[in-house]
Structure 1
Amino acid sequence: MRLTKSDKRKARTMLAEGDMAPDFDLPSDGGENISLKAFRGQSVVVYFYPKDDTEACTLEAQEFSALNRDFKRAGAVVVGVSPDSPRRHHNFKCKYELDLRLASDQEKTAAVAYGVWVEKSMYGRTFMGVERATFLISPSGRIARIWRKVSAKGHAAEVLAALENKSAK
């Protein structure tokens, strides 16, 4: 994929803690749409990941899924977002018996709005892709905490600990 000036400019969009979280309305694995606005009044964990059924993305999804009851008890909803299709999300959830919501951002509108559609490089090749990142959004819709360039292992527990420490006020 050839990078345009517009792509590079969009990749620099950076949100900060305290900013209002950009709303999104994306199709989900279950056929309905997921809108951030629908969760107003609750804490929301929005985690962006590159691709279903890859090693790190699977580990991250499994960890969020395993802790989903704890997130619910803490008053939070967990939403995973990637550019994969709703059907691919459905297959991914079924294959690994995941207990969480997955939103399809095929047009990358949410990824751009959250500043996670970034220039990446691998094996000397430069391309645009999703940076693994998580946003903890307060019940008022403000970004309470941001984790960028996330390492998948243990990340869900770190997010839960931050939520339980009342950082999502």
Structure 2
Amino acid sequence: MEKTSPTQIEKMIYIIRDQKVMLDSDLAELYEIPTGRMNEQVKRNLKRFPEDFMFQLTEFEFNELQNLMKIKAERHGGRRKMPYVFTECGVAMLSSVLSSERAISVNIAIMRTFVRLRSFLAMDKTISEKVGRLEKSTNHLFKIVFERLDSLEETLPEHPKDRKKIGLNKET
């Protein structure tokens, strides 16, 4: 039984319907059980999996996911039904349905990965806000500088067009 790395798990998290989710087949692979067996356990406990914990992909969503994320094609003739995806809460709930040692350790790793991703997103948002504030203050400063340059330009005397220029003359 090999240890599951956070990087391996991160690659299995997708954004669908504006939610971070994991495919049933990826989860089953991590738990080292057949996808059908895992989904059987879920269906026996459907009350534990409301729509915000788990939902079934539409054919369009699944095709888009396959095209954009380059999901590996299923072996043994492919899927008969559209896959289920589990949100972070759904993955946590799986731990109450699947109680093997492997499922417990994988769930802990997945939860830690979701928390890490959430902290990265929060950090990214903070950085974006700081850059936005910096941009706003910089734009304000540039506006002041250009206004002052414009007012200086108005007060400068005009020079005659035929005046002698200082510096090297190209004609000599």
Instruction: Please report the TM-score for the alignment, with normalisation by the length of structure 2.
Output: 0.29
Identify, as 1 or 2, the structure richer in helix: 2
Higher relative contact order (CA 8 A, sep 6+): 1
Identify, as 1 or 2, the structure richer in strand: 1
Choose 1 or 2 for highest CA Rg.
2
